[in-house]
Structure 1
Amino acid sequence: MAPPTSGDRRRESIPTYVKALSGSLGGIMEACCLQPIDVIKTRLQLDRTGTYRGIIHCGNTVATSEGVRALWKGLTPFATHLTLKYALRMGSNALLQSAFKDPVTGNLSNRARLASGFGAGVLEALLIVTPFEVVKIRLQQQKGLSPDLLRYKNPIHCARTIVREEGLRGLWSGASPTVMRNGTNQAAMFTAKNAFDVLLWQKHEGDRKTLQPWQSMISGFLAGTAGPICTGPFDVVKTRLMAQGRSPSGELKYRGLIHAIRTIYAEEGPRALWKGLLPRLMRIPPGQAIMWTVADQVTGLYERRYLKEASF
């Protein structure tokens, strides 16, 4: 077998811990920038009296009546969620890519890149995303703002109530569609991000070329649009399964991924499987643009400092 060429040696792998660090820092920045959108979305979802007349009016009302800092309420759990999720996503993807690379050339095929992204999405869905989102959706579906009138008082109380009434498995309600959504989403996102980097900027991982922040934002934004379009049905089913609690008789409207898809299709039509696509497109692509801007700068710094030194 032919030894790796000098070009292959230049494109050395970036360590998993660097990828995980870049993802966690990107998650913190995304949370800080987009938390107001999440606060406004939650206020609109909980508004029963028509207090808010739209996104802009809601933001202005909150800032005026409660202060600008109120737009960052809940930042700590939101940032913690994104930090853990992105650290696991980026780190596990890097680890899987290293395992799937050709042992001779060090190249990564498109099939291997898709498999790595899917595997990273599955891990984050099972370990972090599903329990966090079960609690979040149960809280967000409640109407009203007075804690005394709400079944779930806060995230900890919500998690404890679910475990007490439904068992530990209740925190993993909707795990199947979440796995499919996140796996498909990350397979599409990582593959698209790499493709846009190469197509638009001729950037290859490990080539010691650092993208400008605006270039990373464009690639990240474009890559972030692929996932929501591909995974719309999984996201709708995930939300329906997570939101439903068991009735006193123990019956469930949706008995699983396939049953939920068939039921929604039969009762509401095929378009219902893509409900909420526009809000997801308003949230996910900008978030990916921010995250990748930070992550690319972190990995770019590593490439310039350490891969360059290692090549001489």
Structure 2
Amino acid sequence: MTAAPLMASEPRHVSEAKANNRELTRTATVVTSLAAGACAGALAKSTIAPLDRTKIHFQSSETPYSVRAALEFLKQSVRADGFTALWRGNSATMARIIPYAAIQFTAHEQWKRVLGVDTPAMAKQHKVRHLVAGSLAGVTSQSATYPLDLARARMAVTSASTYPTIADVFRKVATQEGLRTLYRGYPATVLGVVPYAGVSFFTYDTLKRKYFEYSGKQQSSVLNVVFGGAAGALGQTASYPLDIVRRRMQTAPRRPDGSYPYRNIPSAIRDVYRAEGWRGFFKGLSMNWVKGPVAVGISFATYDKIKTTLRELALTLQ
């Protein structure tokens, strides 16, 4: 039996909730979410890849950050390796972000269902559970794709001759440093993703709900970009110090005696503070306020648009 089409008079998140709960099969819900999340992550990350590489460069070194220094780094990268150098490491980013975004968005929907906050009314009533659902989605996706994140960071801060491909990163790290190194910085990442993903998803969903309550209208794709940008700015600011720690632990070269400069999270925090003071934990944050909201805004808006389109198509095929 063919399900009724989504009502144009309803806000998108209400219509999608009805499609998820009564009209779409569980398999169709998961598949459309995975596909939309993969597309959203790929588009968002490709858009801001040059800025992402610049941010990682400053995060992983003691070089003082400034806008001029960031522009100089971009110029030197182009002079040394050509224009495509600005996207160096983006293949590793795509290898990670496609499964990461697909898992994160899908996990968020499933965690909201498990925690009983998969409708706007329940999310409004149980704000803490709504926040926790976003955090758990971030932990789920980060745990599944962490080695790919480490590979991306290594490729972003080295020359093309060091790690020509993502496969070379895994091979060299495994043979020269051991398999455990593929998860160096993982605890800092998990600690950072809890506030980041929780605040981002919570803020985005809340802004969409508040907009509908205030205007009675369905938000446009442009507004979704704006709401996603605001969510990204808040989420990344909350988690940025741990992002610094994560990058230092991921990219620090091994010493001749086989040890690493940063043995654990406390030692990394201590060393960064001694070398650069409290400002070292926020180095490059101003760039993140530019690239982060753009990436998150594009990601959320793209996800919503593609997911809605795929689910409307799925409904017509059922």
Change (3 A) 1:246 1:305: closer
**Structure 2: distance between partners of 1:32 and 1:146:** 19
Cα deviation, 1:169-217, whole Å, max 9, x if unaligned, reads: 11110000111112221001000101111223439xxx9x753111111
Residues 118 and 187, structure 1, Cα contact 8 Å, conserved in 2: yes
Report the CA distance shift for 1:103/1:121 in structure 2 as closer, same or farther (over 3 A).
closer
Question: Of the candidates 292, 297, 310, which is equivalent to residue 305 of structure 2?
Answer: 297
In the alignment, what sits opposite 2:203? 192
CA contact (8 A) 1:121 1:184 kept: no
| 2:43 is the counterpart of 1:29 | yes
Counterparts in 2 of 1:278 and 1:105: CA distance versus 1, 3 Å: closer
2-structure distance, mates of 1:74, 1:242? 14
**For residue 248 of structure 1, what is the aligned residue in structure 2?**
256
Q: Summarize the alignment of residues 42-121 of structure 1 with structure 2, pairs less than 5 Å apart.
A: 55=71, 58=74, 62=78, 75-101=90-116, 107-108=122-123, 109-121=126-138
State which of 240, 247, 261 in structure 2 corresponds to 1:239.
Answer: 247
Do the aligned residues in 1 keep the contact of 2:195 with 2:235 (CA within 8 Å)?
yes
After TM superposition, give the deviation of residue 127 of structure 1 in Å. Answer: 1.4
The TM-score normalised by the length of structure 2 is: 0.75
**Does 1:12 pair with 2:18?**
yes
2:238 maps to 230
Structure 1 pair 195–136 and aligned structure 2 pair: CA distance change class (3 A): same
Aligned to 1:288: 296
CA 163–71 in structure 1, closer or farther in 2 if over 3 Å, else same: closer
Q: Deviations over 1:150-170 (max 9, x none)?
A: 4x3432212111111222111
Structure 2 counterpart of 1:49: none
RMSD: 3.9
Candidates 277, 281, 301, aligned match of 2:285:
277
Q: What is the one-letter code of the residue matched to 1:16?
A: V
Distance in 2, matches of 1:22 and 1:77, equals 20
AA aligned opposite 2:203: A
After TM superposition, give the deviation of residue 249 of structure 1 in Å: 1.9
Equivalent-residue separation in structure 2 for 1:295 and 1:103 (angstroms)? 17
Report how many residues are paired.
Answer: 287
Match of 2:171 in 1: 160
Cα pair distance change 1:77/1:269, threshold 3 Å: closer
Q: CA deviation at 1:19?
A: 2.5
Percent identity between matched residues is 20
Distance in 2, matches of 1:184 and 1:198, equals: 21
Cα deviation for residue 241 of structure 1 reads: 0.9
Change (3 A) 1:210 1:304: farther
Aligned counterpart, 2:23: none
Shift of 1:38: 4.6
Task: Output the amino acid matched with 1:112.
Answer: R
Is residue 2:146 matched to residue 1:138? Answer: no
What residue ranges of structure 2 are gaps of 5+ in the alignment?
Answer: 1-9, 21-28, 62-67
Q: Tell me, in whole angstroms, the C-alpha distance in 2 between the residues paired with 1:266 and 1:185.
A: 26
Alignment CA distance shift 1:105-1:161 (3 Å): closer
Name the CA shift for 1:103/1:252 in 2 (closer, same or farther; >3 Å): closer
Residue 217 and residue 138 in structure 1: after superposition, are their counterparts in 2 closer, same or farther (change >3 A)? same
C-alpha contact 2:92 2:148 (8 A) present in aligned 1: no
Deviates more, 1:210-219 or 1:15-24: 15-24
